[in-house]
Amino acid sequence: MDFGADHVAGALPEVLAAVATALGPEAGPAASYGGDAWTAKAVDAVRDVFEQPDAEVLLLVNGTATNALALACLTPPYGSTYCSRNAHIATSECGAPEFFSGGAKLELVDADADGKLVLDTLESRLASRAANPKAPHQNVPSAVSVTQPTEDGGVYSVAEIEAIAGLAHKHNMLVHMDGARFANALQAESQATPAEMTWKAGVDVLSLGTTKNGTLCCEAIVFFTSAQSRLAEARFRCKRAGHFLEKQRFLAAQMLAYLKDDLWLRSARNANDRASDLARGIAATPGCSLVRQPAINILFVEMDKAVIAALRDRGIQLSLTAGSEESRGTPEDPERRARFRMCTQWSTTSSHIDDFLCILREVCSANAAAPTQLHA
Amino acid sequence: MDFGADHVAGALPEVLAAVATALGPEAGPAASYGGDAWTAKAVDAVRDVFEQPDAEVLLLVNGTATNALALACLTPPYGSTYCSRNAHIATSECGAPEFFSGGAKLELVDADADGKLVLDTLESRLASRAANPKAPHQNVPSAVSVTQPTEDGGVYSVAEIEAIAGLAHKHNMLVHMDGARFANALQAESQATPAEMTWKAGVDVLSLGTTKNGTLCCEAIVFFTSAQSRLAEARFRCKRAGHFLEKQRFLAAQMLAYLKDDLWLRSARNANDRASDLARGIAATPGCSLVRQPAINILFVEMDKAVIAALRDRGIQLSLTAGSEESRGTPEDPERRARFRMCTQWSTTSSHIDDFLCILREVCSANAAAPTQLHA
Amino acid sequence: MDFGADHVAGALPEVLAAVATALGPEAGPAASYGGDAWTAKAVDAVRDVFEQPDAEVLLLVNGTATNALALACLTPPYGSTYCSRNAHIATSECGAPEFFSGGAKLELVDADADGKLVLDTLESRLASRAANPKAPHQNVPSAVSVTQPTEDGGVYSVAEIEAIAGLAHKHNMLVHMDGARFANALQAESQATPAEMTWKAGVDVLSLGTTKNGTLCCEAIVFFTSAQSRLAEARFRCKRAGHFLEKQRFLAAQMLAYLKDDLWLRSARNANDRASDLARGIAATPGCSLVRQPAINILFVEMDKAVIAALRDRGIQLSLTAGSEESRGTPEDPERRARFRMCTQWSTTSSHIDDFLCILREVCSANAAAPTQLHA
Amino acid sequence: MDFGADHVAGALPEVLAAVATALGPEAGPAASYGGDAWTAKAVDAVRDVFEQPDAEVLLLVNGTATNALALACLTPPYGSTYCSRNAHIATSECGAPEFFSGGAKLELVDADADGKLVLDTLESRLASRAANPKAPHQNVPSAVSVTQPTEDGGVYSVAEIEAIAGLAHKHNMLVHMDGARFANALQAESQATPAEMTWKAGVDVLSLGTTKNGTLCCEAIVFFTSAQSRLAEARFRCKRAGHFLEKQRFLAAQMLAYLKDDLWLRSARNANDRASDLARGIAATPGCSLVRQPAINILFVEMDKAVIAALRDRGIQLSLTAGSEESRGTPEDPERRARFRMCTQWSTTSSHIDDFLCILREVCSANAAAPTQLHA
């Protein structure tokens, strides 16, 4: 059992089968570099899902590349992208946005408890920049990037996206959405369609992730009508970043299988639901608590470090890296407890959850009985 | 039938099976970002093949990325890489080496008919640069890159590589080898081992391609002992270029299957042999000629444009792009003939060749009988 | 009268004379690109001032270039520089550090009221980064940059610099000091020598500004012994950034005149002293207040916007840009008052201050008598 | 005496005086960053000279920066600039164009004996690129840069510039002119006005040099109407490259003095005329020869190495660097003679030339009398 991340899971059988078909002996040779029939179909499938026939779509292997390449098409080297202080693009991509854009800045904006960018702060930051005629001493505000859902498991409502996009557009900036877990957000805000959560709310460019939700490696940049003209530039940037695959049908086959018959939505639904189950079970286990209710497949929990250690001894992966727990103690023992992130996956089953909760209860109960020993 | 490129082929069944196993339901979750067991094994497999236990290996999805990332670890932004005028890094990567390195230069050196860098020219260029104390007006010569085999189908002998590497090292430069079709070169120079063709001859870093020879998308940077210390830097550059895959075992599984039981050598052997068959058949067909004998799976042929058109009408893909044929005419009809490149693939069979040659003979014979009509 | 900035002043007569001598008809031709005798002497003069004979010195025309070039020699593209949130490199250089370094990040650290980097915050940021084994997902902490004095007029004590440098070195980072107004800081901390305020306290590289303190345009990067080896790289980066002047003696002549006979210290002394006079006078003027006592030639004041407008009507430049005042109101009238920055210059005389204060008193008194009219 | 380069000369007295006036005690404070009256006047003066009231002008300290910044406004990172193989931007700027543009390529085109780009070669290169639909594998041809005059002392006629510009515009590329010695070219093609040699012939952006012709350090980018919209971008790029000077009037004052009363034309006229005198004298000296007649202030000569050594012993600087002579021997003694470049300066007088020729004749005559001894 591994609750460290969603990308620890393998690939959906339908995706593996589609790849084997598209590149297997029956398929024969096909045009390279996206000139093949699978790619054309995959682009159309994405357009269909987003109800925008003239959206432009670029398929890539990796989310960091997808985000950074998209942003490089929106911000000149002397521009800046405003994003939440704990956006993945800011904290976990080793400067990819700076690299792809030739040195544009990320302007970090405060986030709320869900990791969502605080609109008022963004507004005052942009107003202050607009009022200050210091140009060319400061970068040109060029884009706003929202992470949907956030790294902290928060989900923007459509109205929240509209408000941010409206503000961005007022300042002549474009709106990027990092949708590495877009399907999970869609499931959480189930009344919204893909179109409503994106371009209808003002999003100009979407990073549409699929890898965490069950493909091998397949992400897309979706340039909606308002940013459609950037495709030509994006293709050159893609090539020079080494992201223009020879056997592009390999990506297209994944995307086609992923979107077919709502597989993507069902996979995300499962991950979200298992996270709810897990949350319920953890909240009900004495000695454990939830930091907040999960909206998607990410949850934040708190328990004794002794419990974590005991779970690890039972072979359970809990958080992505050993160092990522945040100490949360009691006044008497400031190092006693830890908060950390857990993830469920498209492949997590109810029995995985049951098994884990069973072990958790055992461990917690032993810990409660003999906390000192365990803790030491 | 498609002779336009080798990357039009699908993937080896063994590779597809390995991916399905490594990421299928049985495999369960595995550590992301290369912390998994497959990746460790794949690195060891590459070390074994090259007989160098402390070589460092980075797996990537794409050859352009592999080359550009490797070079960025060898050349500072104010440095330069010397390579053949028609090296892939110079002609076909849309400035990827410049992008990854932060603007380092490619210094283009004349090539011989096989596309191989002319040693004497390289020597005089480096001597002239060393003699001219214009620094810092000129970039610092930092690396030499050789393409093995070349884009023109040429193969450097071990002695030739040694001579280039010796010269480079004399000038304190490091040696990179673009081995996008390394297995094909090995088969052509069959007396040389992988180690002899690389680090034993002075190569410091190798781009080891596998995609063209039968994987989905899998390339490796091999840092030999002399350049081993660059791995740490390479990992950061890899991440910020969006080439650090979450489900890295997907790459590792491909590499393991590729190297297992000499699959890579057998695949390359087949492609090379089919190119020989094809060459023989074309040379024997009246109206067609070989530009030179093929050493690997790439051959250059010349025939009437009318013949090319007729072959295309029969559904045969001949060269990668319609525009890439070079006109070669007779004094009476300067536009009559064309030279172009053909490639065989790991998946090309003898019956593909037979079928093609049969059609070719028919078409040529019809063309000879009624050249004017066909030509018009 | 102009109190908007220090760089609104012209050049010291000694500097103008030195330039006229070094490049005038008597001087005749001289080697370009720093091969001249003036440059050698200027380098030695800087070494003498800092009591470090093997320091390396590069002369440039501009402070932004000096900072960004110095940092590019300390941070790889995948590295980061920690600095105060309102450091000039972060707020006012349009991304120059990102540009010169190929996309390295500035990590912004909270500042105290004087604009000085808060040591505790830096410490916890670095500790948290060191504890988190997320590499290569995050940039490598490579340098700490302190601005001495700060943009807010604060001056680090030698002990404070030592503490920051000690922390940086513990984390294998190098220390850069942006000394755009270094002479003003030296005068403020007059017990410290240039050496004590820099390399003896752990500074590895200094941006030594002279332009604001009386030259035409002349700044130096001083690589102290610990960073001396970076000179070679710096020279290439300098050339490719278009900062390697043909008639380099033009810069050297300025630096020589600037340092000769303590001219630099006297100029800074004058600017600091006039700021003290100005502060005293403003504090004593009814309706005006000081935000805090000035340590150097920068002071922050608060007065009614009506007063500012009236002063401007009298031809007095107050702050650099019309938009840079910060509104500070009373509960009844939130827009009534403004805080802004004033600067004195090397060329400011006591009679400039007297004249200004005289006008200020008149204007304030009129404003007090009829605030409504003026305010409207 | 120094004939190594033109930038070994000092500055014109008029320029020194103008700087002293603009930044001296009488001038008082002035707005920074180009907000001053001198800058506005200098921009207008350039517009007047080029007869284009809406041209945009940016003043910089350095020619490398001027060229690279101009090109960065014309070529995206995935673009390319075509230029002569021995253009200064290609050979002597340490990759500045690549740096400023974020990695765009210079495509080197063959040059004729005068260093001028061969139109036919350019035409076939562009035609071949246009015919080859390999995008996005290759950089986008974005600009053509011509050096007027060339580094080899050649001067393009207006008709030649028109032909190149016509070709560039046909391919949707913009035309940049590196006019580091623009005044010298104007004097050589004396029937052409500045406007006729530039925008009327199709030049979109000019690097207008003045440093080599008598200023301290002052160059301008002139964006003609067709490229005028790039100014906004150029200002941000200028700032982030550390080329936006605080005391901008320092540059403006130089430019105003330079253009006033045709000073620039008279200076260039003098340098060109002295080069003619020098050429005549050298051609008439037994043992010396001209490689070709000089068009500007640059000439190429050939003489015995023994003569060069003897001249150096007499304290005469001949070529910029000791290593830059090219050996030219006789069959019997292939190392006997050398070709090298000589430059005259705005400050070279007829008596300098007379004195030099007198010494040259002496040395040559001694060498002819006892060649073996001298040569040994």
Q: Which DSSP state fits A139?
A: P
Query: Count of A–B CB contacts within 8 Å?
Result: 176
> Residue C316 and residue B210: Cα distance in Å, rounded?
72
Q: pLDDT class for B328, splitting at 50, 70, 90?
A: confident
Check CB contact under 8 Å for B99 and A24.
no
For residue A376, the model assigns a pLDDT of 41
Pick the residue of A7, A58, A219, A351 with the most B CBs within 10 A to test the interface with B by mutation.
Answer: A7
> Residue A207 and residue C159: Cα distance in Å, rounded?
48
Question: Given a cut of 90, is residue B329 above it in pLDDT?
Answer: no
Q: Is B240 on the interface with C (CB under 8 A)?
A: yes
Check CB contact under 8 Å for B95 and A240.
yes
> Which residue of B92, B103, B322 is in closest CB contact with D137?
B92
Check CB contact under 8 Å for A64 and B317.
no
Q: Is A135 on the interface with D (CB under 8 A)?
A: yes
pTM for the complete prediction? 0.96
Q: Which chains touch D (3 or more CB pairs under 8 A)?
A: A, B, C
| D92 to chain B: closest CA residue | B137
Q: In 3D, which of D314, D316, D285 has the Cα closest to residue D302?
A: D285
Q: Is D262 on the interface with A (CB under 8 A)?
A: no
Question: Given a cut of 70, is residue B159 above it in pLDDT?
Answer: yes
Pick the residue of C137, C151, C320, C341 with the most A CBs within 10 A to test the interface with A by mutation.
Answer: C137
Check CB contact under 8 Å for C136 and B236.
yes
The per-residue DSSP string of C209-238 comes to E-GGGT-SS-EEEEE-GGGGGGHHHHHHHH
| D246 to chain A: closest CA residue | A137
> Residue A315 and residue A329: Cα distance in Å, rounded?
25
Check CB contact under 8 Å for D217 and C31.
no
Q: At what angle do helices A350-369 and A263-283 cross, to 10 degrees?
A: 20
D238 chain-A contacts, CB cut-off 8 A: 136
Structure tokens at A241: 């970043």
Q: pLDDT tens across B17-50, in order?
A: 999 999 999 999 999 999 999 999 999 999 999 9
Mean pLDDT of chain B: 94
| D231 to chain A: closest CA residue | A136
For residue D376, the model assigns a pLDDT of 41
C238 chain-B contacts, CB cut-off 8 A: 136
Pick the residue of C74, C78, C243 with the most B CBs within 10 A to test the interface with B by mutation.
Answer: C78
> Which residue of C103, C140, C236 is in closest CB contact with B136?
C236
> Which residue of B99, B139, B324 is in closest CB contact with D94?
B139
> Residue D213 and residue D217: Cα distance in Å, rounded?
10
For residue C371, the model assigns a pLDDT of 52
Q: pLDDT tens across A199-221, in order?
A: 999 999 999 999 999 999 999 99
For residue B376, the model assigns a pLDDT of 41
Q: Which chains touch C (3 or more CB pairs under 8 A)?
A: A, B, D
Check CB contact under 8 Å for A96 and B240.
yes
> Do D187 and D269 contact (CB within 8 A), yes or no?
yes
D322 chain-C contacts, CB cut-off 8 A: none
Q: In 3D, which of B80, B85, B216, B56 has the Cα closest to residue B147?
A: B85
> Which residue of A4, A23, A211 is in closest CB contact with B16?
A23
Residue D322 or C240, more confident: C240
| C98 to chain D: closest CA residue | D240
The type of residue at A335 is E
C253–chain A nearest CA distance, Å: 29
Structure ipTM = 0.95
Question: Given a cut of 60, is residue B146 above it in pLDDT?
Answer: yes
> Which residue of D10, D30, D62 is in closest CB contact with C243?
D62
Contacts of A165 (CB under 8 A, 6+ apart): A144, A175, A201, A202, A203
> Residue C316 and residue C352: Cα distance in Å, rounded?
11
Domains of chain B, with CATH numbers?
A: 13-261 (3.40.640.10), 264-375 (3.90.1150.10)
Query: Count of B–D CB contacts within 8 Å?
Result: 73
Q: Is C8 on the interface with D (CB under 8 A)?
A: yes
Question: Given a cut of 70, is residue B161 above it in pLDDT?
Answer: yes
Check CB contact under 8 Å for C324 and A137.
no
Question: Given a cut of 50, is residue C375 above it in pLDDT?
Answer: no
D-facing residues of B in 71-90 (CB < 8 A) are: 77-78, 80
> Residue A340 and residue A343: Cα distance in Å, rounded?
10
Q: Is B104 on the interface with A (CB under 8 A)?
A: no
Q: Which DSSP state fits C336?
A: S
> Which residue of B1, B20, B212 is in closest CB contact with A20?
B20
> Residue C114 and residue A127: Cα distance in Å, rounded?
25
The type of residue at D64 is T
Check CB contact under 8 Å for C136 and B238.
yes
B322–chain D nearest CA distance, Å: 8
Residue C375 or C242, more confident: C242
Check CB contact under 8 Å for C99 and A103.
yes
> Do D250 and C218 contact (CB within 8 A), yes or no?
no
pLDDT tens for each residue of chain A, 376 residues long: 899 999 999 999 999 999 999 999 999 999 999 999 999 999 999 999 999 999 999 999 999 999 999 999 999 999 999 999 999 999 999 999 999 999 999 999 999 999 999 999 999 999 988 887 557 999 999 999 999 999 999 999 999 999 999 999 999 999 999 999 999 999 999 899 999 999 999 999 999 999 999 999 999 999 999 999 999 999 999 999 999 999 999 999 999 999 999 999 999 999 999 999 999 999 999 999 999 999 999 999 999 999 999 999 999 988 755 456 677 777 778 788 999 999 999 999 999 999 999 999 999 999 999 755 544 4
For residue B259, the model assigns a pLDDT of 98
A243 chain-B contacts, CB cut-off 8 A: 62, 65, 242
A105 chain-C contacts, CB cut-off 8 A: 95, 98
C78 chain-B contacts, CB cut-off 8 A: 233, 236-237, 239-240
Question: Given a cut of 50, is residue B16 above it in pLDDT?
Answer: yes
The type of residue at C289 is S
Please tell me the number of Cα atoms within 13 Å of C362 on its side-chain side. 10
Check CB contact under 8 Å for D237 and A137.
no
Check CB contact under 8 Å for C240 and D99.
yes
Check CB contact under 8 Å for B236 and C102.
no
A235 chain-D contacts, CB cut-off 8 A: 135-136
> How many other C-beta atoms are found inside a 10 Å radius of the C-beta of residue D298?
24
> Residue A150 and residue A164: Cα distance in Å, rounded?
15
B136 chain-D contacts, CB cut-off 8 A: 94
> Do C208 and C46 contact (CB within 8 A), yes or no?
yes
Query: How would you classify the pairing of strands A79-84 and A105-109?
Result: parallel
Q: Is A62 on the interface with C (CB under 8 A)?
A: no
| A72 to chain D: closest CA residue | D77
Q: pLDDT class for D331, splitting at 50, 70, 90?
A: confident
